[in-house]
Amino acid sequence: MLATCTLEQIAIAKMTIKTDSTSNAIVIAVSKGRIFKQALPLLAKIGIEPLDDPDKSRKLVLSTSDPEVNLLIIRATDVPTYVEYGAAHLGIAGKDVLMEYDGRDFYEPLDLGIACCRLMVAGVDGADQIPSRPRIATKYSRTARDYFASQGIQAEIIKLYGSMELAPLVGLADCIVDLVDTGSTLKANGLVALETICEISSRLIVNKAAMKTRHARVSSIVSSLRNAVETRDG
Ligand code: PRT
Ligand code: MG
């Protein structure tokens, strides 16, 4: 299986967790940035408040107000890997990342309704439709391939790792597949949205073994978070 972090990195993370004073703690993997910021109110509502700000601290394992819960701060695309291999018991990851991930060996019990956006096909302003055999630049190569195949369109997928908006402007691709929130990034680069592939939000994922071996604590976190999502204002 192709994973974006090495087994060695996971082993180091496991050692870090084990050498921590709260070695029995439940570990939740989350990426810093918008997912972390939007998850904070939900976590606070269930009594989990990080003791450090990941934007100011260089710590990768954050203790929280609940001595039995630690947060692991990692790249968004690495969250499913840590959860699948059991280096974290739970994780919070965007549906875009989960769809693109090679494995599937974890539970996905809850849509947290945070970090919402759409995965869209976009092209240069003026071209109002996708060509019949398009070249598509994206970091979501698996999802894009599946989407165009489902539409009966033979697309050539060009994998990029960032700044997708540039590709149609310099003739590298006809269209891009990328996340769109306000649309201002597309607009600033002379692009327009053409089709929505799917709505995106962040999901809670759970390691399968932890659901059995740490059942009481893990299921209590899942149900408390579900309640926090359902009773959220606005
Ligand atoms: O930035 P880094 O490389 O460290 O990691 P990352 O890009 O994976 O992290 P981050 O924090 O940028 O995004 C994490 C997750 O947030 C994504 O996996 C999505 O699930 C979710 N999310 C929600 C978004 C957006 N909205 C979003 N708008 N992620 C990225 N964007 C980007 C988009 O790629 C584009 O560049 O924002 C731009 C478009 O925004 P608008 O408002 O201009 O349309
Ligand atoms: Mg980003």
pTM, full prediction: 0.90
Element (H, E) at 185: helix 184-188
Reference 119, options 103, 104, 139; nearest CA is 139
Ligand at shortest distance from the CA of 164:
1
Q: Are residues 106 and 121 in the same domain?
A: no
Distance (angstroms) between ligand 2 centre and the Cα of 37 equals 13
Q: Give me the domain span that covers residue 95.
A: 7-115+201-233
Site of tokens 């018991």: 89
Q: What is the pLDDT of residues 108-163, one digit of tens each?
A: 999 999 999 999 999 999 887 899 999 999 999 999 999 999 999 999 999 999 99
Q: What is the pLDDT of residues 160-201, one digit of tens each?
A: 999 999 999 999 999 999 999 999 999 999 999 999 999 999
Q: Domain of 168: which CATH number?
A: 3.40.190.10
118 and 195 Cβ atoms separated by less than 8 Å: no
Distances (CA, A) of 219 to 1, 107, 126, 208, 223: 28, 12, 51, 12, 6
Residue 225 lies in a domain: yes
Q: Are residues 12 and 67 in the same domain?
A: yes
Looking at the structure of the chain, the number of domains it has is 2
- Give 7's pLDDT tier (boundaries 50, 70, 90): low
Q: Cβ < 6 Å from ligand 1: which residues?
A: 31, 33-35, 76, 94, 96-97, 115, 117, 178-185, 200, 202
Mutate to test the pocket of ligand 1, among 40, 60, 73, 179 (most ligand atoms within 8 A of CB): 179
What is the share, in percent, of the chain residues with pLDDT greater than 90? 85
